[in-house]
Amino acid sequence: MINYILEKVNHDCLDLQNVLDFACDHDFLDVVTLLFEKTDHKKLDVKKAMNILCDKWDYYNSENKHESMIKHILEKVNHDFLDLQNVLDHACLFELVDVVTLLLEKTDHKKLDVKKAMNILCDKWDYYNDEENKHERIIKHILEKVNHDFLDLQNVLDHACLFELVDVVTLLLEKTDHKKLDVKKAMNILCDEWDYYNDEENKHERIIKHILEKVNHDCLDLQNVLDHACLFEFVDVVTLLLKKQTIKKLDVKKSNEHTI
């Protein structure tokens, strides 16, 4: 009905802003598309409409139209008319991969507080509602596209260790000066806060091994790692530690008690 009226009636007789706001509030993709095709964007407060789209979205009542609408607006409207920070924060909070990708491709990163958005991504993640592994994909994409000086890399590393995001840990250790990271803290998070019953792919041991292979051991609490490895019988980790000639620095007797 709305589309029919828009197609048949002179737009000067309509409150197009009200129509746009309503369409964004209810995810009417066809209405939004038609309005942008037929209306001078300068006559519309698209920033207001986009903020309605982001701020009033019902996460549990979507048919994937939501992300399509945001992408459509970003592709059709001059970005100077939009609150891009609000859009990026929203996209990170709800893991809208295509929106994050589009924003980072088309926007000067200096105009965005990507650190804030990345921290939202890490700190407010719903671990149990990530069926498509979109979370790790977005973090990796931001790390690959954004200058690391704009990010809180320690928060990202701690988060990646806590939730065993193997690719994120790998990427960070490859692309970042380890001296800028408190890897000891991250490794201790990995060991001390591990959910034994939720490690279906043996990612935990792989991350520990990777850190041991890539990071200077003087930067790690090796005793904590060895105790943890003995407690949970990580043969490869114990083997790696003992091969690296760190025995004199370790209380192997203490660690052995964890296995008894």
pLDDT averaged over consecutive 10-residue blocks of the chain (260 residues)? 82 91 93 91 94 85 81 95 97 94 95 97 81 87 96 97 94 94 97 76 90 95 94 92 68 56
Instruction: For residue 142, give Cα distances in angstroms to 12, 99, 111, 122.
Output: 43, 12, 15, 12
Which tokens sit at 177? 């000066």
What's residue 260's pLDDT?
A: 45
What's residue 252's pLDDT?
A: 58
CA gap 69, 88 in Å, rounded: 14
Q: Are 151 and 118 in contact (CB under 8 A)?
A: yes
What's residue 248's pLDDT?
A: 60
What's residue 125's pLDDT?
A: 83
Q: What is the pTM of this model?
A: 0.87
Residue (of 4, 1, 10, 32) closest to 19 by Cα position: 32
Which tokens sit at 187? 């490794």
What's residue 68's pLDDT?
A: 93
CA gap 1, 82 in Å, rounded: 28
